[in-house]
Each structure stands twice: as structure tokens, then as C-alpha cells.
Structure 1
Amino acid sequence: MVYPPSTFSKLAYGILAFALSLSSLSCSTSRTGGASSASEPTITHVADGWANNSVNVVAFRKNSLVTFKGTQYTAWYGADRSVMLAKRKSGAATWEIQKTNFTGNAADAHNTISLMVDGNGFLHLSWDHHNNPLNYARSVSPGSLQMTEKMPMTGQREKVISYPEFYRLPSGNLMFFYRDGGSGQGNLVINSYDTGTQQWTQLHSNLINGEGKRNAYWQAYLDKNGTLHVSWVWRESPDVASNHDLAYARSLDGGKTWEKSTGEKYTLPITEATAEKALAIPQNSELINQTSMAADEQGNPFIATYWREAGSTIPQYHLVYHDGKTWQKLELDFRKTPFSLSGVGTKRIPIARPQIMVKNAGAKASVLMIFRDEERGSKASALIINKLSDPKWTILDLTPGSLGSWEPTYDTELWKEKQILNLFVQKVEQVDGEGRATIPPQPIQVIEWKPKF
């Protein structure tokens, strides 16, 4: 069934879209060479969803939105914690919505919903994981929102799963990443899906080995050339303060073999001792887990995250990137407010983990970073660097009001294909240490914006 917005909703969201366009024209800047031009952002309403924590809008969802052959899909937890699915023609104002038979422990912000569409048009869904058995299903036919019953993938290492992530290779086959084990003692598992046989196989049971002492909090990025990039921070214990270092690996053959940025082949599994350090960062640096990744058009990796430099009390966003020869670091030092990361569970943090997108390559690379910061009213904000060789930046806000504890996720496939940014947006409140707020369901929205940089 298609659920069109009410007359009131159309008016309300029209006003909001207008406000968004105005907000994009006025920006505060730092080290700026002038504001970048951009199309006006537009916003569409999907439905209302669970908002008592940040489970629908944590930065490690892969994906919250995904486009395949002109159709865009999304998912979220409804007010009753049911897994909800929706699709639309790309850019359309109305969505077809389907309530599934699946539910999840939405009160735990780790338990995200991840989506991907394979090369034959089947929708793949994984949900509700924080050190518990696999939850996985796929659509009964290409383009359908009707899902199969829950099913296994390979039957191997599927009992203690966290952080499910799908990636689609240029062939249309899929990869599925997840952590096997707990915080401080987990390993990275990768499964591979063949669209021809519709079967999963386990490609690596332990790609990044915590050796029972630590675990890797990773993010991956599949570039246009089919190179798979993975970066991660190490954590020594469940305490977030024990995060340290930025490490890197890449695969040129769909995840089978792995190498460093130098081309040196890894002996698997990768351990702390053998991992390439993109940057050494000590523990107790307010380094957040789960980096954000992208690559320029020559396949050079970019990492965005935040931490506090030695001698400073203020965590700042940073870009760590490879220029084709060596790793480089750029501190985006616009923040003024200190905070500290420590303890366990999902934290209530005054800034969001960022998302990074890159156009062009080398010295001419342009960077877009999406983030949220209480200093800017907890809005969806965009930092733009027009040319990396002259790293001046412009910051503008894409929403007129606070999004609470929102973190950015976006449609990676639409960005790769058309450089159109579709952000999944919902105002939520995260109580520190896996707490739960008491607020009514809040609107799920998609912001569409085509930055010109």
C-alpha cells in the first residue's frame, strides 16, 4: 500500500524544505575560501518511527538507504519495534511501506537494520544484533518488500554477531561483514553471496584477529573500481577509552586476498602486530570507534573520524588520507568544546561520527563531510573542501533545527552513481550507557541534496 502524506504533512514538509534551502545559503565558515554553490536540499517524509534511542540513526548502518535501478529502499524500527520496509521511485514523494513479521530489541542502539540489493534485484535484510545469533532474510522476488522467513547464511560462526554490513560488488554479488565475539575480544568475519547460486559461503572466518585481547571496530568502502577498503580502530576492552590507532587494508579481488597501501600482501589473519598503521593514536585520546571511509577516483583511501590531539582538551574531526605516496592528516579544528569518552554501552556524545564522500583525485580531490555537533545546534551539517591541495573549508547546515542524537547515514550506491546525497534523518535522543528516552515516535525523513564542489 502507498501512504501519501496528508495535506497538513505536505504543507509542513514544504515549509521545512523551504527552510532547508534557506539554511543552505547561509553558512558559518572556518579557513574558508568562500561558500560552495549547491542545489537546494529537499526533504520527504517516510513514516514515524521509534526514537527513544539512536538505533535507527547510528553511523555504522550499512545501509539505511540503498538505490538499485531507480528504486530506493529503506528500513527502520517502528514504534512497536517492528522492522519496517519501504521503497519508492528515486526522488518520489510517496513511499510504499511494508510492515514485516520481524521485531528487534530496538532499546539497544547497537541493534541496527542493514540493507542491500544484489545484482538481480533481491533485497537482503539483517537486523537486531548485539552478540546474538544471526537474523537474516531476503525478498521473495526481485523488487519485492515481502521477505522470506529468517534463514541462515553459512551456518558457521553465526551465534555471536554484531555490526552486520552489506556491500555490493560490481559483479552484483554481495559481501557481508560482521563481528564474531564481544567488545574487546572479537574477530571480523566476511561472507560472500553468489547471485547465480543464491548461496552464501564464508570467505574469511577471521580476517582481523583480536587474539582474544582486543577487537577491531571497522568500516569498509567499495570504490568504483571494485577495490574494497577497510579501516579500523583497535579496542582493548569494553571501555571506549581504550580505542587506539587507525589501521588499514585493501582487497583488489573481492575480498579474497588483502594488502597494505604499499601493495605488500598481508598474511592472514591480520593482527595488531601486522596491521598497517595509517596513524598512531594512543588510548585515552577520545578516539571514537567505527571510522568512516571513502576513496578518490584513483582509489586513494580517505578516513574521517574524531579524536583529541595530545596537549588539547577538545576532540576535533580529522581526515586521514593517502596521497598515493604516504598517509596524510588534516585536523578540522573548528570545535571549541571539550568532552571525554569513557565507559561502556552506547554513549550520549555531543558530536556524531561523520560520513565522508570524495570527488576527483589527488591534489584536486574534493571532500564532503556530514556531521552533527551540539555547537551548531545538533543540526545536520556539511563541511566542504573544494580542493585538498588548498584545504580551506566551508560549513553549512542542512536542517533548520536540532536532530538530537542523530548520526548520518546515506545512500552509498546513489552517491557513487550520480553524486546525489540522500541522508536518512530522524530526531532521536540517546541516553548515556544504553539508556532509553521517553519521547513519541518521530518522523523518518530523507534529505536529498546535490552539492556542487
Structure 2
Amino acid sequence: MRLKSAIAGASLLIGRRKPTGSLMRHLKSFIACVTLLTGAAMALPGPAAHAAPVRYEAESSPAVCTGTIDSDHAGYSGSGFCNGNNAVGAYVQFTVNASVAGTATLAVRFANGTTASRPADLIVNGTRVQPAVAFEGTGAWNAWSNKTFSVSVSAGGNTIRLSPTTSSGLANIDYLDFEVGTAAAPAVTWLGDTQLDPSAVYFVSYDGLVNNASFQQDGIVTYAGYQYAAWYTSTRYTMVARRQLPSGAWQTVQLPHRLSTNDSHNVISLGISRTDGRLHLGMDTHNNAIYYVKSEAGLVSNPGSVSWSASRFGAVQRSLDGVSLGNITYPRFVATPEGRLQLSYRTGGSGNGTMELAEYNGSTWTRLGRWSSASGSYTLNGDTSTTRNMYLHGISYGPGGRLHAAFTWREGNSAVMCNRGGLANHDTGYVYSDDRGRTWRNNAGQVLATTGSGTLVSVSSPGHVVDPLSVDHALINQESQAIDSAGNPHVIISYVPGRYTQCVSDFVQQRISSGHAFHVWRDSAGSWRKMEIPVALNAFGRSQLVLDGANNAYVVMPYGRIVTASAASGWTDWTVRFDGSGLNAFGEVVVDRGRIASGVLSILYQRRSSGTTPSPIRVVDFRLG
């Protein structure tokens, strides 16, 4: 039986009569079976009202074509199409009417008979909202394709302009379909893009870059009206910059530490201790002693009155002010509600390591100790693994001072996988702490661990798995989490669903070809829910999740693509709001979570290069909603 036919049959059955208890039980069983077949949780939203889109032909007034109206390539709508001049700025413009202000969906029909993209800026009412949108080759001039956008419009008349950014000009433009008010997912509006460094260090290691990795907490951060970012230069020096928001110029400071090795694990993480106004940097670690620098007191709490210079920073240390951590990986700074600063880090290695915490009270660091365990047994595919490590999707405080940690496990024995070409990550786990990371509880509130003791979170801890998944699906570690205004955690995970295969044999390539991201969250009743984001991953790397003040979700996927969903829909109306055009981002990007409260999403990204040729590192800003 075909899946589509089966679902249609179930819908017809429901429509004929009110489901009885017995019928409803059968339907629930049926839906559960469909869920297993598709490899994703199913959401069954109610029908949405849609008005028919209004079509605006490029050859008809009030449309403006900076070129000629031609009809020599078949398949167009109306009486012709706009063949723009081959020049930068030779635009086509539509004037559309919106019945109400809000988010509009635009569908542009185009043809490009060349093999090269013809990029164009999308300009709404005189404001560039998406730069250098790629209008790819369609195979022939009579092969027409549609490109869809979501933009904010005003009530009444609006101008929609496509302005080419290269001397090749526009693709041929047939028409614009315009529809307003049907998409509830929040929009994003391009505000600007600034350059931090024209030639940052570039090398690909573990399929990633050292200047942009999902586990940087944080690579870019906002505090007290200033934004801070850090990266390694082409000469491998540590650079830290600041700018006054919203649009001040970047000021840069070079620190004396140089990146020690070509390893993308060795990122720079920034932290701010509000108790004394210091900026902290943890960097260049992968199973080695930390490189640590902190600024003078007051540098970030009163930035407008303090100059930005290297003399404001202390010496590079191999400990936290004399507190040795041993060999560590993945330093993440976490600010506590009262303004202290904590450092999360891993000791040991992949497949056999533990998570630990240290804390800074404004004057001294204290090592709190381990809170996860490498011990326990995991058995699958006829073999057993007895060591592992926890990989955090995030560790962050939410309302009420609760510390949330979502994670996955990595097994030490790869024989538990169906194929050694996979990666032994499994399950999504969740624990929380209400006493600043001293004790840890599962979702039901049961105490699982005490930091620094012999009782730690382990693979055997009861009730910690909130989304089970075996090692055979290319689940990636260290993706992203965010906490909503009600204190409920939201997590982004990604893997190859079971509808593609039950046994991944090539972790990287099958994630690129078949990987999908999923939104996993806890609802107000304390139950965990899951929905597949209906946008192909088309990448090996990880996505970033942020929530705005209304709890709308924004997922920044690899290459800087932005997909959003509204809280009002129950996070079911996932819509692509920005396709990454014009960024040329390598892959994973880093977001500024501290700036979200002001309604702006800042994304730190590095442009794609080749070999070890340095490339620009930049920050792009979007207005949310």
C-alpha cells in the first residue's frame, strides 16, 4: 500500500463519521506505523486558509523592465517576459498591492539558459532584504523555474525589485506571484554585513573550520550595548574585536597567542563575568591544557569609557588563574543568573571522557569536578561498548535559574555499529540542575548525579533519554539548544532518518545526501515532542537554534540558511526565510545569542576558500520578525 494512499484513506475514514474509541485506537496505531516508516515524528496540523496568489506579469504595466520584452523562448506566461540588459543594476520591478501589512510570499518565475548563476539583490520598498540571490542555470532559456521568498510588506502599494549584481544581468523574468498573510512563520530582514578580517586562517579539519564551530560558546557575544567576536588571523594570532551597537565600526586587538595546530576543535570561546566586568577567552584546546586569557576588570561593563587595546588583557595562561584542569576539550563559558561565570569542558577523549565544571566568582576560579561518567554498557549489533563520552548540544540557564543540558552519547567501541563507516553517536539525553550545576535531575525530577562525587550521569541513568535513536543513523553531536520563556528546553538534532536507511555506512556523505534536522522540545505538560524540519540538510554540519521574545524559532542551518517557525503554530509552520545567497559561507556558522533580546540575529561566518588560502570572516545581521 502506498503511504500517500494510506494517509488519504485514514483521512476519508475520519471524515465519514466521528471516531469511536475503538476506531481512534486503530487510527493511533496506524499513525504510529506510518511514523516508523517515515523515520520522523508526524504532526497533523489543521487546515490553513489560503488566498489565491495574485500574478504580476513582467511585461505588463506597472512592472518595469530595464531591457526588452521578448517572446522568443517558449513556455512563458502572458504575452512575453523581461529580458534585462546585461549590466549591473538593470532591474525588473513589480508594484504589488497588499491588503494588510505582514509577511508575503513571493514566487518569481525565471529562466537562465547559461551554466552560471545570475545573482540579483531582492529590494522591497527601496530596502535590500536579500543580497545576491542566486538565479541558477535552468538548462535552457525555455526551461522555466520558480524561486520563492518571504518578505515583510506594508498595507497598500509595495515595490519588489530584482537588481542584478554582475555584468551578466538578470535571468529572464516571466512573472511574480504575490500572496500575503498565509505564512505565519516569522520573517527575517537583512540589516547589513560587516567584515572582521579579509584573510582569516583557513583549513578544513574534521570537516569544519576552526573559526566557526557549533560548540563555540560563544564565538560572538553581546553585552552592555557592545558586541564582541574572536578568531584566528592568517598568521594564526588570536584576534578579539568589539563594536558599539547597532552599527559602530569594529575595533580589533591582536593577542600574543598563536594557534598551535591545524585542528578545528581548537576554537576560541568567549565568556563575560558580570560580577567584575571581565571578558574571558578559552582557546586552542583538544586534549591539552587550556590557553586562557582574561581582561582587566570593568572592560565590558563600562565599554564606552575604556579604550580597546592589548594592554587591557592579561597574560596567556595554561590554567585558570593557577587552577589546573588537566588536558581538556570543548571549553564553553556559561554565565550564571547572579553574574558568575562557569566553564564547561570535557576531560578524557572521544569515546572515553567526562564532562566537568569550573566556576569563577569574580575573583577566583574553583574546579567543581565531574558530572558525567564514561562507564556503563551499551549493546547493539551483537557487541557491547563499555566506555563513552557525553557530547553537549548546549548548556545554558533559563528562567528561574535552571541550568539545562541536552546531549548525545558517543560509544568507545565502534563494533556496536552496523558499519564502521558510521559514527557511534546515539540518543538525545536531557538533564537539569536547580543549584548551579551541583546536582543533576532527569526530566521527571529524579536526582541522577552530584557533581564532583561518585554518582554521575551515565548511560545507565534512569529517565535521561528523551529521544531514543541507535548508533546507525549518523546522529551528529554538539548541535544546538535554546530555552523558551516558560523554561522549556528546545533542541535541534540531525541525522539520516530510517526511511532512507537503517544502516549508515558513510557518515559524511549520507548526512549530505539524506540528513535532516529535527526540532525536539518539551511542552508545557513536561512531555517531549519532535518534528522534522521539512528542509533538506544538504550538508555535513550542524545548525544553530535561537528563540525570540515570543518563542518563535529561528534555525540557522549550514551555509547561513535561516528557517523559522512560529510558536503560535506549535512550531509546525517551518519556512525558509533566507537561503544563504550572497554569503558563500563554508558550512557551520556561529550565532550571537546575547543580541536576540534586541530583535537582531547576528551570524559569524567565514567564506569558503580552498586548501589553506585565507578567507574573509564576517558578521551578517538580520532583524527578526
TM-score band, normalised by the shorter chain?
0.7 to 0.9
CA distance in 1, matches of 2:569, 2:409: 28
Alignment partners' CA distance in 1, 2:211 and 2:390: 23
User: Which structure 2 residues correspond to residues 14-413 of structure 1 after superposition, within 5 A?
Assistant: 18=128, 20=130, 27=149, 33=183, 36-48=186-198, 49-53=200-204, 54-105=209-260, 107-119=262-274, 120-143=276-299, 145=310, 146-151=312-317, 152-153=319-320, 158-195=325-362, 198-203=363-368, 205-211=369-375, 213-218=387-392, 219-237=394-412, 241-268=423-450, 269-274=456-461, 276-313=464-501, 314-324=514-524, 325-335=526-536, 350-359=539-548, 365-372=551-558, 379-386=559-566, 387-389=568-570, 391-397=572-578, 399-401=580-582, 403-413=584-594
Q: Which residue in 2 is equivalent to 1:444?
A: 617
Please say if residues 186 and 552 of structure 2, whose CA atoms lie closer than 8 Å, have aligned partners that are also in contact: no
Alpha-carbon deviations, 1:20-78, whole Å to 9, x = none? 3575995389xx83664433331111113112231101111111111111111111000
**Rounded Cα–Cα distance in structure 1 between residues aligned with 2:324 and 2:294:** 20
Q: 1:440 to 1:366 in 2, by over 3 A?
A: same
Write the distance in 2 (CA, Å) between the matches of 1:228 and 1:91: 30
The offset of 1:248, in angstroms, is 0.6
Decide whether the 8 Å contact of 1:231 with 1:291 is kept in 2: no
The CA deviation at 1:360 is 5.7
Deviations 1:140-190 (A, max 9, x none): 342255321123227566222100000111211101000001110010010
On the 8 A contact 1:207/1:270 being kept in 2, the answer is yes
CA drift at 1:270: 0.6
Q: Deviations over 1:331-383 (max 9, x none)?
A: 1233286xxxxxxxxxxxx243111112467xxx42111102xxxxxx31111
Query: Which SS does the other structure have where 2:130 is aligned?
Result: helix
Q: Is the 8 A contact 1:51 1:427 kept in 2?
A: no
Q: Distance in 1 between matches of 2:235 and 2:516?
A: 37
Does structure 2 conserve the Cα–Cα contact (< 8 Å) formed by 1:23 and 1:396? no
Cα separation, partners in 2 of 1:106 and 1:147, compared to 1, 3 Å: farther
Distance 1:390 1:59 in 2: 22
Report the CA distance shift for 1:157/1:69 in structure 2 as closer, same or farther (over 3 A).
Answer: same
Code of the residue aligned with 1:425 in structure 2: it is: Y
Aligned with 1:55: secondary structure? coil
User: Structure 2 CA distance, aligned partners of 1:391 and 1:228?
Assistant: 27
Q: Which amino acid letter does the alignment assign opposite residue 228 of structure 1?
A: L
Cα contact 1:214–1:236 (8 A) shared by 2 = yes
Aligned length: 404
Q: Corresponding residue for 2:37?
A: none
Structure 1's unaligned 5+ residue stretches are 1-14, 338-349, 373-378, 430-436
Structure 1 pair 250/135, CA: closer, same or farther in 2 (3 Å)?
Answer: same
Q: TM-score, normalised to structure 1's length? A: 0.82
CA distance in 1, matches of 2:229, 2:496: 34
Q: Which has the larger radius of gyration?
A: 2
Indicate how the Cα distance of structure 1 residues 183 and 83 shifts in structure 2: closer, same or farther if over 3 A, else same. Answer: same
Deviation at 1:411, TM superposition (A): 1.3
> Is the Cα contact below 8 Å between 1:20 and 1:41 reproduced in 2?
no
Alpha-carbon distance in structure 1 between the residues aligned to 2:215 and 2:442: 23
Taking only the aligned residue pairs, the percentage that are identical comes to 26
Q: Secondary structure at the match of 1:284?
A: helix
Q: Distance in 2 between matches of 1:294 and 1:104?
A: 30
Q: Secondary structure at the match of 1:225?
A: helix
The one-letter code sitting in structure 2 at the alignment partner of 1:206 is R
CA contact (8 A) 1:27 1:394 kept: no
Q: Residues 112, 336 of structure 1: CA spacing in aligned structure 2 closer, same or farther, 3 A cutoff?
A: closer
Equivalent AA in structure 1 for residue 473 of structure 2: S
d(CA) in 1 for partners of 2:471, 2:245: 43
Output the CA distance in 2 between the equivalents of 1:295 and 1:256.
20
Any idea what SS the aligned residue of 2:494 has? Answer: strand
* Alpha-carbon distance in 1 for matches of 2:537, 2:269: 34
Q: Which amino acid aligns with 2:515?
A: P
Partner Cα distance (2:447, 2:149) in 1: 45
- Higher relative contact order structure (alpha carbons within 8 Å, sequence separation ≥ 6): 1
Q: Per the alignment, in what secondary structure is the counterpart of residue 266 of structure 1?
A: strand
TM-score computed with the length of structure 2 as normaliser: 0.61
CA contact (8 A) 1:183 1:238 kept: no
**Paired amino acid for 1:355:** Q
Q: Which residue identity is paired with 1:309?
A: P
Which amino acid is 2:313 matched to? M
Is 1:242–1:284's contact at 8 Å kept on the other side of the alignment?
A: yes
Deviation, structure 1 residue 291: 2.7
**How far does residue 220 in structure 1 lie from its aligned partner after superposition?**
1.3
Q: CA deviation at 1:305?
A: 1.5
Please give the root-mean-square deviation of Cα atoms over the aligned residues, in Å.
2.7
CA apart distance, 1:98: 0.8
